Amino acid sequence: MKHLAKRLRYYLGLLGLFAKYSLMEQMAYRINFIAGIAVECGYMLIKLMYAVLILRAGAEINGLTAHEMLMCIGTYIMVTGVYMGIYPNYWALPLSVRDGSLDMQLTKPVNTQFLVTLRKLDFGMPIPDVACGLALIVYGWQRAGLPVTPGAVAGFAVYCLAGWFLTYCLFLIPELLSFWFVSTNGVQALSSAVFDFNNTPMNLYPKWVQRLGILLLPVFLITNFPTLYVMGALSPAMQVWGLAAPLAVFGIQRAIWRRAMRQYTSASG
């Protein structure tokens, strides 16, 4: 237990240093920083369009009121915003596999995945998403008249965290394919297309799509589970699955990671 606490402190300390260095770098390149925020604002507006469509329809669809759906959309916007904070690492991974700049990181006495996925933190891009997502959640929560108890808020936060962790794992898998294939654009396009199903709450989709998105490729957990939990619409089995699925996906992702590390060919360049 003491050892675990020490390890945790070690990694949190490194994370803090990464944050500090990333911020220093971004301040040195302010145009990039601002451009990132601007583009992300555009993306956020796009995601808001779906909220507008649903709010204007104003109807209850398959058990969710418009405001509850708003909460789902807000959750999605917020969680992807947090993901954008580490996106530069994901973006750079195939490149560093191709040009061999992963070499040095493989020789460090620290968890390589930690180093590779969390080294660069972007502080600009998450701002619009997190702010807007939170606003939608708070507004939707209030208008939907759902209870604001410590339990509900804590549960919502836990499922958001689980969703974020799931996002972290799910997006890493296609990037890892770059260890085997020269170009992974196709896989990335496919995975973000699948992920975009989260643009709207899952209750809009047919039952079979919902089942696939919950059980097989659990992307729907991210957008829907926090809100469904607060609504009391998550069955005990689903409550467990909402926490177990991220761990299962993490296990799969780690297995692929280990194989990828063996596969690494360290191009010289």
Tell which one of 1, 3, 5, 56 touches another protein (CB under 8 A).
56
* CB of 160 closer than 8 Å to CB of 226: yes
Give the binding-site size for another protein (rule: CB under 8 A): 72
Interface pattern 19-38 for another protein (x via CB under 8 A): --x--xx--xx-xx--xx--
* CB of 182 closer than 8 Å to CB of 231: no
Tell which one of 101, 134, 239, 250 touches another protein (CB under 8 A).
101
| C-alpha closest to that of 156 among 222, 207, 210 | 222
Enter the tokens of residue 1. 């237990």
| C-alpha closest to that of 222 among 133, 148, 141 | 133
Tell which one of 7, 148, 153, 266 touches another protein (CB under 8 A).
266
DSSP 51-63: HHHHHHH---BTT
Amino acid (1-letter code) at residue 3? H
Read off the DSSP letter of residue 198: G
Does the protein bind another protein through residue 256 (CB under 8 A)?
no
Considering only residues 143 through 202, tell me which ones interact with another protein, judged by CB under 8 A: 181-187, 189-190, 192-194, 196-197, 199-200
Does the protein bind another protein through residue 264 (CB under 8 A)?
yes
Enter the tokens of residue 263. 């596969």
Tokens 């070499």 map to which residue?
103
Least distance from C-beta 239 to another protein, angstroms? Answer: 25
* CB of 230 closer than 8 Å to CB of 144: no
Least distance from C-beta 110 to another protein, angstroms? Answer: 5
Helix H or strand E segment including 225: helix 220-231
Enter the tokens of residue 257. 């990671």
Least distance from C-beta 98 to another protein, angstroms? Answer: 11
Tell which one of 8, 209, 252, 255 touches another protein (CB under 8 A).
209
Considering only residues 225 through 254, tell me which ones interact with another protein, judged by CB under 8 A: none
Interface pattern 115-154 for another protein (x via CB under 8 A): ----------------------------------------
Considering only residues 71 through 90, tell me which ones interact with another protein, judged by CB under 8 A: 87-88
Enter the tokens of residue 105. 């990181």
Rg (CA), the chain: 19
Tell me the window of 14-22, 70-78, 141-149, 222-230 that interacts with another protein (CB under 8 A).
14-22
Tell which one of 7, 8, 39, 248 touches another protein (CB under 8 A).
39
